[in-house]
Amino acid sequence: MKKIIKMFIPIFLMVAVLSGCSKKEKNLNLLENIKESKKIVVGIEEGYPPMEFRDENRNLVGFDVDFAKEIGKRLGVTTEFTVVDFSGLIMALNSKKFDIAIASISITDKRKESIDFSKPYIMGGQVLAIKKGNEAIKNVGDLQGKILACQLGTTGENVAGTIKGLKSLKKYDKVTEAFQELSAKRVDAVIMDAQVGGYYISKKKGEYQIINEIISKEPMGIGYRKGDKEVREEIDKIIDSMEKDGTLSKLSIKWFGFDSYK
C-alpha cells in the first residue's frame, strides 16, 4: 500500500504544478479577458436621451449605445450592457459589475480620483431648458427665487449647486423625470447637457426652449477602473479612428441633428 502511495505522490505533484501554471497563464489583464471571452460588458444608464434611453419597444438606444457597439465591433467582440442609475455608476464600475462605463460621463478632477478616463469622445456642456414662452428666465441670473431641476449625480447637479438665490434644487434619478416636472410646471427650469437639451427641443417642438447660454463646457469620456491601462489605450486608438473616418460625425448627425465634431 505504501509503495502504491509513493508511486502516486509524483503524479499528484505534477498535476498540482501544471494546475498552478494553468492558473498563472490565465492571469490576464482586462483587454486580454475581453478578447478571450469575445465580449465587452459596458455599464450604462437608460434615462438620458439622446445619449442612452429606451425606445417605444423598450430597446436600449442612443448615441452612447451606438458608440459602445462600434467599439466592440472594432475590438472584434460583442458588446453587452449592464444598466445602472447614473449616481451609482462609478461605484458599480469599481465593484467590477462591468468592464467599462459609457454613460455621458463628464471628465472632472473629482471623478479622476476614483476612476481613469479615455480621451474625450464628445464635448458636452451644461445648458438650461425652460417652458416655451417663459419670459421670466432669460439667463442664469434670472433663476433667483426659482425652482431648478437636475439629474442626481451629474455635473449638472454640481453646477446647479453653485447657482445662488435658488428657491430650491430638485434632484431626480433620470433627466426624463426632471422634464416631466417642467411640463407640469412644478419646476421652472432643468439643467442638463446641451446634447440632451437639443434632443428634447427637437422631439417636443413648441413645448420647451433652451436658453442661449452655455453655463459650462465639459468633455465626456469612457470610465475605467484604475490600472486597466491596456484596454484604455486600445480604445483610445479606436476613438481616434472613429473620428478620422467620420463615424463619430455620422452618429452625431443621427442623434443630435448636427455634426458636433466640426
pLDDT for 107 beyond 90: yes
Model's pTM, two decimal places? 0.76
Provide the pLDDT for residue 187.
98
Provide the pLDDT for residue 77.
98
Compare 24 and 33 and report the one with higher pLDDT. Answer: 33
Asked if the domains 30-123+220-256 and 124-217 are classified in one and the same CATH topology, the answer is: yes
pLDDT for 101 beyond 50: yes
pLDDT for 23 beyond 70: no
pLDDT for 4 beyond 80: no
Average pLDDT across the chain, whole number: 90
Split at pLDDT 50, 70, 90, the class of 25 is low
State how far the Cα of 197 lies from the Cα of 191, in Å rounded to an integer: 9
By percentage, how much of the chain surpasses pLDDT 90?
72
pLDDT for 120 beyond 90: yes
Query: 247-256 vs 63-75: helix axis angle to the nearest 10?
Result: 160
Rounded mean pLDDT, 71-99: 97
Split at pLDDT 50, 70, 90, the class of 24 is very low
End-to-end CA distance of the chain: 81
57-76 pLDDT, tens digit per residue, is 999 999 999 999 999 999 99
State how far the Cα of 26 lies from the Cα of 4, in Å rounded to an integer: 33
pLDDT for 201 beyond 90: no
Counting every residue written for the chain, the total comes to: 262
Contact between residue 144 and residue 164 where contact means Cβ atoms under 8 Å apart: yes
| Cα-based distances in Å from 201 to 38, 206, 214 | 39, 8, 16
Question: Who contacts 119 (Cβ-Cβ below 8 Å, separation ≥6)?
Answer: 221, 236, 239, 240
Question: Who contacts 112 (Cβ-Cβ below 8 Å, separation ≥6)?
Answer: none
Provide the pLDDT for residue 19.
52
| Residue 59 dihedral angles phi and psi, to the nearest 5° | -80, 145
| Residue 114 dihedral angles phi and psi, to the nearest 5° | -105, -35
Split at pLDDT 50, 70, 90, the class of 135 is very high
Provide the pLDDT for residue 178.
94
In the numeric block, the cell 431641476 is attached to: 149
Rounded mean pLDDT, 237-244: 98
136-163 pLDDT, tens digit per residue, is 999 999 999 999 999 998 989 999 999 9
Residue type, 137: I
What is the fold, at CATH topology level, of the domain defined by 124-217? D-Maltodextrin-Binding Protein; domain 2 (3.40.190)
Provide the pLDDT for residue 14.
56
Task: Domain 30-123+220-256: give its CATH code.
Answer: 3.40.190.10
pLDDT for 165 beyond 80: yes
Rounded mean pLDDT, 91-100: 98
- List the chain domain ranges: 30-123+220-256, 124-217
